[in-house]
Amino acid sequence: MPKPSDLLQGTLDLLILKTIAREPLHGWGIAKRMQVLSGEALSVGQGSLYPALHRLEQQGWIRAEWKASDLGRTAKFYTLTRQGKKQLDRELRTWARLSSAVRLLIENA
C-alpha cells in the first residue's frame, strides 16, 4: 500500500485550499481535518504542510493572521483570499479532468 505522503504528491495545494475554504484554520487544524475527512488515509507531515502554506501565502492565495486557538495559545490561522478562491476553482476543475481520465483508463484498460 502506498504511503499517505505518496497520495498527496501534486495535490497538496488543492487539499489545503479546499480544507480552509470552509473556515480559517491553523496548520495543525488543517492537517487534522485532512486526516479525519479522509478516513485517516491521508496524513500530512509538518515538513510538507508548512512549506506549502508558506508557498501559498507567497502566491497570494491564502492569508495568515495570528489569533488565539482553542487551547488559548497563539497560532497562525490561514484563510483563502479572493485569488485563492479562484485558484481553488481552477484546481478543482483540473482534478475533475484528471480523475475522470484516470477512471476511464482504469475501466477501459
Q: Measured between alpha carbons, how far is residue 93 from residues 17, 76, 96, 99 in Å?
A: 13, 29, 5, 10
**Alpha carbons 61 and 3: distance in angstroms, whole number:** 28
Cα–Cα distance measured from residue 65 to residue 75, given in angstroms and rounded to the nearest whole number: 8
Main-chain dihedrals φ then ψ at residue 43, nearest 5 degrees: -135, 120
Note the CATH architecture for domain 4-108: Orthogonal Bundle (1.10)
Written as tens digits, the pLDDT of the chain (109 aa) is 445 545 555 799 999 999 999 999 999 999 999 999 999 999 999 999 999 999 999 999 999 999 998 888 999 999 999 999 999 999 999 999 989 999 999 999 8
Instruction: Name the residue among 34, 77, 94, 85 with its Cα closest to residue 61.
Output: 85
